[in-house]
Amino acid sequence: MKTRLLTVAALLASTVSAHAVGLDRSGQRIGILFEEGNRVELSFGYSEPSLDGAAITSPALGPLSGQPIDNVGEDFLIWNLGLKYDLTDKLSFAVISDEPYGSDVLYPGSNATTILGGTGATVDSNAVTALLRYKFNDNWSVHGGLRYQEVSANVTLGGVAFNSSASPLTTSGVNGYESNFSSDGDFGYVVGAAYEIPAIALRVALTYNSGTTHDLPTTETIRGIPISLATRGAVADLTTTTVDTPETINLDFQTGIAANTLVFGSLRYARYSDTVVRPAGFALLTNGSALTDLEDGYDFEIGIGRRFNEKWSGSVAVGFSTVGDDNIVSPLGPNNGSRHVAVGAQYDVNDDFAISGGVRYTMLGDAFSAPGGRPAAIFEDNSAMSFGIKFTYKF
């Protein structure tokens, strides 16, 4: 059966913390390793989130009660570069460079006159993964390798919701807190296996990605003043914050259902409960609290792809991310779960070069933005638009 799986929908899984499980962006996909022949792939994804909310209605908030909150999700661009090469008819090699995790959130307004103005988070990551795949026969294969990953971040907390008094319009609390986490790298590993029946384009691949541990050089201030051990009377390391990225499992599948037509899908699990960001200065100010509030979760997607002729192919896919135990979430990720639909197309310019692209629309789940677990704002009926393009060269 001559058929193919379009990876456009997978390419458009570009996310921020408000769009999917945790901080996922690339989904750590390794599909290039299973493509036929030698190739290079370069892809770009651009996302435009719309995350509007409003302060909750509460007498304690006084004039801030019901105050609108304009879009807190910032647009972002991600990229992915991959090379796959067949060393022998049984052994293949691939190198993938991607941005596995990220966040771009910023609440507009003054931290003195708005509920969450000035609160924001920027998380950047880059990873390079080197993989080998060995085929025992036409049906069974194993794959694995090493991943080197770097992570950096910046977090600010602003707005009267971070004041500490029972009346949030008075004392300052952690309003005006900022932490800067410089980049640090670590190695992880990848292992997996796949089962295939080439005659019907069937493939089921299971891949485990280990977590990584990063000792991030840290600078913390509160309203512009460095947090000092001397003034807190405590013993702690204020210069380094240890952060673990999650271990993940990806299950990818496809099967032909008719000539030039197949069904494809994926299931991803991410153990984000291991990702705790607790800088020492912030912990001193808040009796041990962390900046993060992330739960384990799943992403699921299923779609259909079809080759129309020798030049054109298309795909459509739908999917969802699981919701948390409740609608109380961190202000740095003000949504709970999501659903999406993606449409893509591929054009084969010639035997060696192809261009693919598509669009993804994501509906974001409603949630309460809750500093310290206390609801301060509600985010409802939000969404994101994502666009992607990929260039493939075969050699």
**DSSP for 215-254, written as a single string:** EEEEEEEETTEE--HHHHT----SSEEEEEPPPEEEEEEE
Distance CA 131, CA 139 (A): 19
With left for phi above 0 and alpha for psi between -120 and 50, is residue 229 left, alpha or beta? Answer: alpha
Which run of H or E residues covers position 229?
helix 229-232
Q: List the structure tokens of 8.
A: 């456009």
Q: List the structure tokens of 143.
A: 């794959």
Q: What is the pLDDT tens value at each position of the chain, 395 positions in all?
A: 444 444 443 434 333 333 455 689 999 999 999 999 999 999 999 999 999 999 999 887 888 999 999 999 999 999 999 999 999 999 999 999 999 999 999 999 999 999 999 999 999 999 999 999 999 999 999 999 999 999 999 999 999 999 875 444 445 689 999 999 999 999 999 999 999 999 999 999 999 999 999 999 999 999 988 886 544 544 445 689 999 999 999 999 999 999 999 999 999 999 999 999 999 999 988 888 999 888 899 999 999 999 999 999 999 999 999 988 888 999 999 999 999 999 999 999 999 999 999 999 999 999 999 998 889 999 999 999 999 999 999 99
Question: What is the SS3 assignment for 364?
Answer: strand
CATH number for the 8-394 domain, one of 3.40.50.2300, 2.40.160.60, 3.40.50.2000, 3.40.50.10860?
2.40.160.60
> Could you tell me which of 67, 148, 156 has the C-alpha nearest to residue 118?
156
pTM above 0.95, yes or no: no
Distance CA 142, CA 254 (A): 17
For residue 89, give the DSSP letter. S
Amino acid in position 368: F
